[in-house]
Structure 1
């Protein structure tokens, strides 16, 4: 084999690197947690293919229910990982969502969008929108998934994501407001430690995985402040989470401020965790600050 084929042409630690022959190597490989019953939380999970054409799947999380069946609010989740790593099936996503679902009695649906760089953006956004539309098909109890037909209240939908997933959740709220989501009502969005870009410096990784983007702050997907559709966010409220030691902390605060002055009619709130870094709650969910963050999420979902 030509040794030059193993020359690295693009390197974006801690996410991935690309060799001259096109091979992609990720710095972190997501583990896999099988679906089924979790004896600790009582949460049941199931994996469902939502598009035979693309192979996109979702993992459903449903809480332990005592007594007669009842309609539950729905949380649609988009995992983080720079659009290029992570999964609804890995340990961090599963631990976080099982804990949240068991505390708030909500159905969670985490979308396994196709990853870059093999699948260039906007594929992750489009897969996520297709997954959200698939959820909405159950609004009359006639969709393909029995759990959602029986238990889902699609008049109470929440969007959630962390890091790049928060970017996706924001975009889904924009699409819900501008395109519409038939049969469903998005109540709120939980935007956790969001990935956006501020300033003229190009984000080379994003530009590589999204060749149509400039990679800097004139792209509305990277800088909501320049998005003319920001005031059309299709939800009633947004909770923005930031962490004091996160390099993206000021970007999250800027997003909160931009949304507040955009003319959007909803309510936006900022919640900061002191002394912690990026997405700390996914890796230490049982810490005091991790549990406090979780309680804030529960209160946001359950408040009138």
Structure 2
């Protein structure tokens, strides 16, 4: 009996194909790797947890090798890259990256696994990111329920209360599309209170996926700009977005977007690559790596020990103090 080829409904190359029967074929993404206690190379331990059952939100938690049993460390909530539709917190690329970062920066990291398009279009990923942020913040409030021991025992500095507020070493961040999750969550935290009044100290946006209907800087003009695949990509991952490509979630400088004065963190680091088409949309403290493309430090053909990869790592490590 002849094999009947399935019909393709949508292609978003090089990321994925969606077939008319609903099957999603993801073409990019590194393979799954399990968590590991006491990595022989870095000494970092990792484990997988469930943050929420409905919706299902999971995470991989990383703990560095401790200098003392009750050591208190900064906390980093990390949102992985992949264009809102591929990759995972449990993939080899992101596990290796977080393992190295946690080892060098001496932080407790929570790498969030959230729902992705097209099965769950935006704003699902933003809502999952917010739920994960609130869950982490709850560990530093009074009367913690369903706590994660690595966070309660080692996360954050000792709590100091002044006028009811506690000052913490809590960071959030991510790369590529997930970099803008970090941006939007910091903005949201300026309007909606985090559990226990916890404050975000800093945010890291690596090669953030910002765009709009109007070109800026070195971006192409006219028809070349209109044909840019980034617009098609955004329409795919968030087809119902009010304002389309000028939605505040992707265009923080557009009409109707909240003022950047509402940023709740006191520190913001934006890292861009010199060849990245999105680089001109970086903001505030800018760190540019010349001669590299978008999220180059995650590309399989790039040597993880190259000088430019080391530059990104060193800058981020120094930021997470």
Q: TM-score, normalised by structure 2?
A: 0.84
2:171 to 158, 162, 167: 158
After TM superposition, list the pairs within 5 Å mapping 1:13-92 onto structure 2. Answer: 13-37=13-37, 38-92=39-93
1:203 equivalent to 2:231? Answer yes
Q: Are the structure 2 counterparts of residues 55 and 214 from structure 1 closer, same or farther at C-alpha, using a change threshold of 3 Å?
A: closer
CA RMSD of aligned residues (A): 2.1
Q: 1:77: Cα distance to partner?
A: 0.3
Q: Are the structure 2 counterparts of residues 243 and 55 from structure 1 closer, same or farther at C-alpha, using a change threshold of 3 Å?
A: same
CA distance, structure 2, for counterparts of residue 17 and residue 174 of structure 1: 33
CA distance, structure 2, for counterparts of residue 230 and residue 190 of structure 1: 15
Structure with bigger gyration radius:
2
CA distance, structure 1, for counterparts of residue 206 and residue 188 of structure 2: 19
Kept in 2: contact 1:206–1:215 (CA 8 A): no
SS in 2 for 1:59: strand
Stretches of structure 2 that go unaligned for 5 or more consecutive residues are: 158-167, 215-225
Q: TM-score, normalised by structure 1?
A: 0.89
Kept in 2: contact 1:207–1:215 (CA 8 A): no
2:151 to 124, 148, 159: 148
Question: Aligned pair count?
Answer: 288
Q: 1:64: Cα distance to partner?
A: 0.3
Stretches of structure 1 that go unaligned for 5 or more consecutive residues are: 257-267
Q: 1:217: Cα distance to partner?
A: 4.0
Kept in 1: contact 2:231–2:245 (CA 8 A): no
Q: 1:4: Cα distance to partner?
A: 9.0
What residue in structure 2 maps to residue 264 of structure 1? none
What residue in structure 1 maps to residue 268 of structure 2? 238
Kept in 1: contact 2:273–2:293 (CA 8 A): yes
CA distance, structure 2, for counterparts of residue 270 and residue 216 of structure 1: 27
SS in 1 for 2:246: coil
Q: 1:285: Cα distance to partner?
A: 3.0
Q: 1:5: Cα distance to partner?
A: 8.1
Kept in 2: contact 1:197–1:216 (CA 8 A): no
What residue in structure 1 maps to residue 94 of structure 2? 93
CA distance, structure 2, for counterparts of residue 157 and residue 46 of structure 1: 20
Kept in 2: contact 1:161–1:168 (CA 8 A): yes
1:187 equivalent to 2:201? Answer yes
